Amino acid sequence: MKSTKQILLMTIITASASLQAGNPFFETYDTPHQTIPFNLIKTEHYFPAFEAGMKQQDKEIEAIINNPEAPTFDNVIVALEHSGELLNKVGSPLNNLLSAQTNDELQDIAEKVSPLLSEHSNSIHLNEKLFERVKAVYNQKDKLELTPEQQMLLKETFEGFVNNGANLSDNDKVTYRQLTKELSLLTLQYGQNVLKETNKYNLLIIDKSLLTGLPADVMDMLAANAKKAGKEGWLLNLKTTSYVPFMKYADHRDLRREMYMANATKCMLGGEFDNRQNIQKIVNLRLKIANLLGYKTYADYELIDRMAEKTANVYNLLDKLREAYKPTAEKEYAEVQAYADAHGAYFKLQPWDWMYYSEKLKDEKYAINDELLRPYFELDHVKKGVFGLATRLYGIHFTKNSNIPVYNPEVDAYEVTDKNGKFLAVLYTDFHPRDEKRAGAWMSDFKPQWIEGKTDNRPQIVIVMNFTRTTDKKPALLTFDEVTTFLHEFGHSLHGMLTKCTYQSLSGTNVYRDFVELPSQIMENWASEKEFLDGFAEHYQTGEKIPAELIQKIKAAENFNVAYFTMRQLSFGYLDMAWHTLQKPFKGSVVDFEKQAMESTQILPLVPETSMSPTFSHIFAGGYAAGYYSYKWAEVLDADAFSVFSKNGIFDKKTADSFRQNILENGGTEHPMVLYKRFRGQEPTIDALLKRTGIML
């Protein structure tokens, strides 16, 4: 006998068969673990599937509303949780490809479907009859015998309706629909502008003498850039793998300034990709939405479901860290300035000088630099080390499966199994920069985890990065920072892969924003541990294990300029909060507003005509609005949590099991502090972070 969901889906499919014939989204995937058949999906398949998915969920919502039985947890809350299966099926690949493998056609589809999805979501949350049934169950919460996970799902469902306008008047609901529709398009446009503006900039160098100071590996990479573009010479661009090493090593100061200015003025010089007007519209729309829902600021609205809870607590953390680190950061700047002066730099260090001179000072103090370490961090060896770390900690194994379709030939897919060979997840890895991929590094999922009946639907996770590529002369050799980034994103993937939850909206990384970075940031702690590095770091040519003295140098240099980098990250947190604690519509200069917001954390000299807000995708195109502080919040957690590993042994099985069972497996099924205290035995303090970074002895 077919379920109601199956009957509804069959009805929709029959009604629009002409659009759905041969469309993979309407079929059961005949692939390993029912992974997405990227090789079969065409651009024209997306929109019909979105339309059908919305119609299917509409019918599922109607079934919940028209159910003659009294509202219960199962027939309302669980039924709502399980609705929208087809919509999730088509939305997941598109959302991921828009970041990792985009093109004009996909972006056009996104622009077309974004307002429709916004309206569809609003129609659910603003449906009075549906909300009445949700509220009826919520009002019984104290009488229902629910598990902690069920209690959390009920709470999140009810509050999701309230925080998306369910209690608004009819007139205000109309306003809310329009505001959210506009906002979804603007954030999409903002992100597309950043990618297009980044890709637009190229600087071809044909005079090799202008590139003195650059290591041979970097020169090879720049030559490969030029060759790929059909040119002779060395091609500079604003992708991290080219930009960062250039700023670290290039002797030519004017060229460093040119590159810095190109990067620091993206999306703010006029033209089609200028984001300044988008910023104004986005923050003002967010403020209107918050006010409409009864909040003074957008930050007040966003912090409802955060560990921080309110803006005062966010500022309390930021202020404490600023007070603790700023004196040391100023000393670090003075030390780099003194070094530059001693080496003939008769000028006040500017932002385009910072990486160059601080890298030379680091090399002089610790005799260590990226190019010295790269030969020991060949990508395949690093993968072995990172995967092996998960094996040692959690007993899981990774087996590459070339039969799993991928969205780009550079992507690999792995089957992840536990110590008994039981299937846990599929992990996709995507390591290198492309024009169709946005900058940065991130983890996402193509399919979340949930349990329905006796079936544990296991997740399909992807980690995406922009690491140094293979050249004609050498394999992909990573910097130490890239190794750390790999560990970070892999930590997110463990959160997604090891989850054991009943409901997908609570599984994996579906946790409070200021808790989600704990599983990722804690993994970074292993990067400088000898016992970890000894397991995989060997010279790509000689096979020599990384020398103990090099590891000692890594450890010694671990806190080099740590206060400066802390102040830089705090400045981003203050800027984010400034934009989202506005109480009146913004009408001024983006540049002036930003400078004022970041003034208290300023270490390097200001460059008046630059701004990061037009490319601050985390808060204007991602999920970190009023949430960038989360990185520092979670850093307090990760330092405190890793202190347990440090005490018991970095591979201690009992500690790892506790972290897995209490943190990684539980997703958002309970309040994060409850889960954390279950692992740690107490609430975290800032002390472990201050000790780790050398601020407190």
Residue 4's pLDDT is 43
CA angle (248, 198, 275) in 5-degree steps: 120
At 37 the pLDDT is: 98
pLDDT of residue 11: 45
CA distance 417 to 426: 9
Residue 369 and residue 248: Cα distance in Å, rounded?
10
User: At 21, is the pLDDT very low, low, confident or very high (cuts 50, 70, 90)?
Assistant: confident
Per residue in 429-474, pLDDT tens?
A: 999 999 999 999 999 999 999 999 999 999 999 999 999 999 888 9
Distance separating alpha carbons of residues 341 and 81, to the nearest angstrom: 63
Residues 313-353 pLDDT 10s: 999 999 999 999 999 999 999 999 999 999 999 899 999 99
Instruction: Tell me the per-residue pLDDT of 184-210, one tens digit each, with 9 for 90 and over.
Output: 999 999 999 999 999 999 999 999 999
489 is catalytic: yes
Q: How many CA atoms lie within 13 A of 490 on its CB side?
A: 26
Q: How far apart are CA 668 and CA 519, in angstroms?
A: 13
- Residue 105 CB neighbours (<10 A): 12
**DSSP for 50-72, written as a single string:** HHHHHHHHHHHHHHHHT--SPP-
The answer to whether 428 and 462 have CB atoms below 8 angstroms apart is yes
* Predicted local distance difference test score (pLDDT) of residue 13: 41
Q: What's the pLDDT score for residue 5?
A: 43
Q: Among residues 359, 489, 517, 670, which one is catalytic?
A: 489
- In what helix (H) or strand (E) does residue 399 lie, and over which residues does it extend? strand 397-400
Secondary structure of the chain: what % helix, strand, coil (to 5)? 60, 5, 35
Please report the pLDDT score of residue 471 as a whole number.
Answer: 87
Per-residue pLDDT tens over the stretch 229-239: 999 999 999 99
The predicted structure's pLDDT at residue 109:
96
pLDDT of residue 694: 93
Which residue has tokens 């990709």? 273
* 378-394: pLDDT as tens digits: 999 999 999 999 999 99
The predicted pLDDT at position 2 comes to: 47
pLDDT 10s digits, 105-137: 999 999 999 999 999 999 999 999 999 999 999
DSSP state of 77: I
For 11, other C-beta atoms within 10 Å of its C-beta total: 12
| 3-state class (DSSP) for residue 532 | helix
Measured from the Cβ of residue 408, the count of other Cβ atoms closer than 10 Å reads: 15
Spatial neighbors of 543 by CB under 8 A, at least 6 apart, are none
Mean confidence (pLDDT) of the chain? 95
pLDDT tens, 518-569?
A: 999 999 999 999 999 999 999 999 999 999 999 999 999 999 999 999 999 9
Domains of the chain: 4-167 (1.10.1370.40), 201-264 (no CATH), 374-510+530-542 (1.10.1370.40)
Count of C-beta atoms within a 10 Å radius of residue 440: 15
Report the b/e string of 532-550 with b at 16+ CB within 10 A: bbebbbbebeeeebbeeeb
Token pair of 279 as six digits = 């910023």
Please answer whether residues 289 and 298 qualify as being in contact, where contact means their C-beta atoms are separated by less than 8 angstroms.
Answer: yes
Give backbone dihedrals phi and psi of 298, rounded to 5 degrees, phi first: -70, -35
Q: Which amino acid is at 422?
A: K
> Does the pLDDT value for residue 220 go beyond 70?
yes
